[in-house]
Structure formats: C-alpha cells, structure tokens
C-alpha cells in the first residue's frame, strides 16, 4: 500500500504536469491570450511549485510524508475544480499558482517517501516511481485529444476527481514515522546547505526542468504553428514525449543496478542536446513524432536519478535536501517559460527560435555534470 500510494500520487502529478501544455491552445483561443501571457501563466505555476518545494521539506522531515501528500492533493483538486469557472487571465494565473503549490508538495513528498524506504537501490526505485509520472503525462493529452475531444473543462474535472480518490488512499495508508526531530533545527541544516554539492545538483536540475517543461508547455503550440493539426500535435506530445519518458524510465532502471547514477545523467544530457535540436528542425509530423519520442527517452532518467544522487549524498534531512533541489528545478520552469514567452512575443511562429533555449540549456548540463562527478567522489 505504501508504494501504491506513492505511485498514485506521482501519477496525478504527471497528469497536472502535462495539463498546461494540453489545455493552453484552448485557453488561448477562449480568452485570446498571447504567448507572453502564456509565459506568465506558466511562471505562476512555477512560482507555486518553487514555494511549495522549498517550504515542504522541513514539514516532511518533522511531521512525515503523509501530511504533505494529503495537503498537496487537496490543493490540486481545489484548483482543478475551480479552473473551468475562471473568468479571465487573472483567475487563470491565480489557479495555476495554486495548482503549482499542490504539485510541488506532492512531487517532493512522493519522492522523499520512496527515497526513504528504498535506500539500497534508490536510483532504480525512484526511476520506477517516476515512470508513473511519465504515464500520467501520457494520459492527459491522449484523453484530451481522443476521449474528451479537447473539452478542457471535462479534463480538469476528471483529474480533480482522481486527485480526491488519491487523497483518500493517502489518508488510509500507514506511512513511516517522521525522520526529523520535534522541530526544524537550524544547526543541523549546515550539513545540507553548507555543501557545494547541493548547489551543483540544484543548478543541474534547474537546467533539466527548463528543458522538460519547455517541451510540455510549448511543444503543442510550436507544432500547430508549423501547420500540424491540434489533435495530431497533442498526440505527438502524448504518444511521443510522454511515452518516451515512460519507457525510458522503465529501460534505465536495470541499467542503474550496474552503472553509476552520474554516468547515466551525463549520457542523458548529451542525448538531450542532439534530440531536442533536431526536434525543432522539422515540420513533418512523422519525423517530429519520432524525434520527440527520442527526446523523451533521453530526458527520462534525469529527474529521478538526480533526486537519487541527492538522497544518497544527504542521508540526514533528506526531505529538506530533496525539496531544495526540486525547488531549483521549478525555478528553471519559471525562467524558461518567461524567456520563451518573451522571445516569442505575440507571434507563435517565433516559438521555434525561442525553443532553441532547450538544447542550449542541455549543453550547459553536460558541462555541469562533469563538475558534479568529482564532487560526488
């Protein structure tokens, strides 16, 4: 039940991670939003993720993962039930911020929970857990395009109901006692925040999340601007990118039993540079789908494997360390979305140029990985 509860929570997070990119075309048409406003909406979600992730670590360490998962899922359900009733840009921004807060709490709580109970094979366990993030990301655009016929209001209500069911399961599942003491002791935080490795890992995840969320949030609009129909664009996101993430995490799990985590993240970073650059160079639907799938495969191991490295390097106050690194990742979401939206301006055709930020960030990831390697030794 413990693993089942964590899997359901990360599955819901995967669904909401793909939510914005899935519903953004319909939201933009209904409320006449510009790419710049789209960037602001994505920034609001990122800000919520950042605030939640940096704040929830001490809560998890001192009060347990259960309270965090219940709180996060409650906020997700509330935001999604209210989103179809929003009246304009301001309301959407506020609700995406709330959705980000809930998502940040859930993803930190679920990863901290599995990291704590799977110490011997942490990287493999976290990749298998986050496989269900990929599955959630696949389901959202797929059911939107093929089941709900792009009815984004029904999609929001369906995911909100799933969040309520998942919340109920968290409430009845017995979880480990808190790992921390009766309070968040600042003296103990020096063993976490005093190590340069924490900041190297945080910057690395900052760059990675910039790349991944850039694809989630902007790929459908980019493909539509290249003349690909909206339903086909959503299926490319679902059956291409999300499926690549899912299968990649499944494939890499046994590899991590033999190969070090940092070697895996280095190889992935190099592959991200190549696949995302080529992905942005084609307007052919079939070629685009294949390259997007390969990009998903390349990105698949990075997020959970980085968290595994963090959990191994920081066995004490693990929730705080993981929360900080994840927060850095959400900062990447905020920065990349603002830059991409700013470069694109009011012209969707300029998205191709703006999205070159993704392979550029991946190049920096390669260099940063080489700096992390000796720090781990």
Tens digit of pLDDT for each residue in 202-222? Answer: 999 999 999 988 888 788 888
Considering the domain boundaries, does residue 127 fall inside one?
yes
| Nearest alpha carbon to residue 110 among 326, 346, 337, 309 | 326
Tokens 């389901």, located at residue: 139
Considering its fold, how many domains does the chain have in total? 1
Query: CATH code at 119?
Result: 1.20.1250.20
Tokens 């499944």, located at residue: 250
pTM of the model: 0.74
pLDDT tens figures, 338-362: 788 788 776 666 788 889 999 999 9
Considering the domain boundaries, does residue 19 fall inside one?
yes
Q: Are 220 and 234 within 8 A, CB to CB?
A: yes
- The pLDDT score that the predictor gives to residue 181 is 47
Query: Is the dihedral angle over the CA atoms 158, 161, 166, 169 positive or is it negative?
Result: negative
Mean pLDDT (the chain, rounded): 85
Of 42-46, 92-96, 180-184, 305-309, which gets the smallest average pLDDT?
A: 180-184
Considering the domain boundaries, does residue 184 fall inside one?
no
Of 8-17, 160-169, 188-197, 365-374, which gets the smallest average pLDDT?
A: 188-197
Considering the domain boundaries, does residue 103 fall inside one?
yes
Q: How far apart are CA 318 and CA 111, in angstroms?
A: 10
Q: At what angle do helices 122-146 and 243-255 cross, to 10 degrees?
A: 160
Q: How far apart are CA 225 and CA 347, in angstroms?
A: 9
At residue 160, does pLDDT exceed 70?
yes
At residue 316, does pLDDT exceed 80?
no
- Give φ, ψ of 369 to 5 degrees: -60, -40
Percentage of the residues of the chain whose pLDDT score is greater than 70: 94
Considering the domain boundaries, does residue 114 fall inside one?
yes
Q: Are 222 and 89 within 8 A, CB to CB?
A: no
Q: How far apart are CA 35 and CA 351, in angstroms?
A: 9
Residues of the domain holding 235? 2-173+195-376
Give burial (CB, 10 Å; 0-12/13-18/19+) of 185.
middle
- The pLDDT score that the predictor gives to residue 243 is 84
- pLDDT tier at 275, thresholds 50, 70, 90: very high
- Most confident range (mean pLDDT) of 93-102, 122-131, 281-290 is 93-102
Percentage of the residues of the chain whose pLDDT score is greater than 90: 31
Considering the domain boundaries, does residue 66 fall inside one?
yes
Considering the domain boundaries, does residue 183 fall inside one?
no
pLDDT tens figures, 81-102: 999 888 889 999 999 999 999 9
Considering the domain boundaries, does residue 9 fall inside one?
yes
């Amino acid at each position: 039940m413990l693993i089942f509860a964590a899997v359901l929570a990360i599955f819901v997070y995967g669904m909401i991670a793909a939510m914005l990119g899935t519903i953004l075309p319909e939201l933009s048409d209904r409320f006449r939003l510009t790419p710049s406003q789209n960037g602001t909406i994505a920034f609001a979600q990122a800000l919520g993720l950042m605030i939640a992730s940096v704040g929830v670590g001490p809560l998890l360490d001192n009060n347990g993962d259960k309270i965090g998962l219940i709180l996060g899922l409650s906020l997700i359900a509330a935001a999604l039930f209210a989103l179809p009733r929003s009246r304009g840009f301001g309301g959407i921004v506020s609700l995406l911020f709330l959705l980000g807060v809930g998502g940040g709490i859930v993803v930190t709580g679920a990863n901290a929970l599995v990291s704590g109970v799977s110490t011997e094979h942490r990287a493999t366990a976290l990749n298998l857990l986050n496989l269900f993030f990929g599955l959630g990301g696949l389901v959202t655009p797929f059911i939107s395009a093929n089941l709900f016929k792009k009815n984004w209001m029904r999609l929001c209500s369906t995911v909100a109901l799933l969040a309520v069911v998942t919340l109920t399961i968290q409430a009845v599942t017995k979880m480990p006692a808190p790992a921390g003491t009766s309070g968040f002791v600042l003296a103990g935080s020096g063993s976490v925040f005093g190590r340069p490795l924490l900041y190297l890992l945080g910057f690395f995840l900052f760059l990675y999340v910039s790349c991944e969320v850039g694809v989630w949030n902007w790929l459908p609009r980019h493909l539509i601007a290249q003349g690909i129909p909206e339903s086909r664009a959503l299926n490319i996101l679902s059956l291409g990118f999300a499926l690549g993430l899912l299968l990649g995490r499944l494939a890499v799990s046994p590899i991590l039993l033999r190969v070090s985590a940092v070697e895996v993240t280095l190889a992935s970073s190099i592959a991200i540079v190549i696949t995302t650059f080529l992905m942005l160079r084609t307007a052919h639907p079939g070629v685009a789908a294949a390259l997007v799938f390969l990009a998903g495969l390349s990105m698949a191991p990075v997020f959970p494997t980085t968290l595994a490295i963090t959990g191994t390097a920081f066995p004490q106050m693990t929730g705080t360390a993981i929360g900080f690194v994840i927060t850095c990742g959400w900062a990447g979401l905020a920065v990349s979305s603002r830059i991409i939206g700013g470069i694109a301006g009011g012209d969707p055709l300029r998205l191709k140029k703006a999205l070159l930020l993704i392979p550029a960030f991946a190049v920096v990831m390669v260099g940063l990985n080489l700096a992390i390697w000796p720090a781990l030794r």
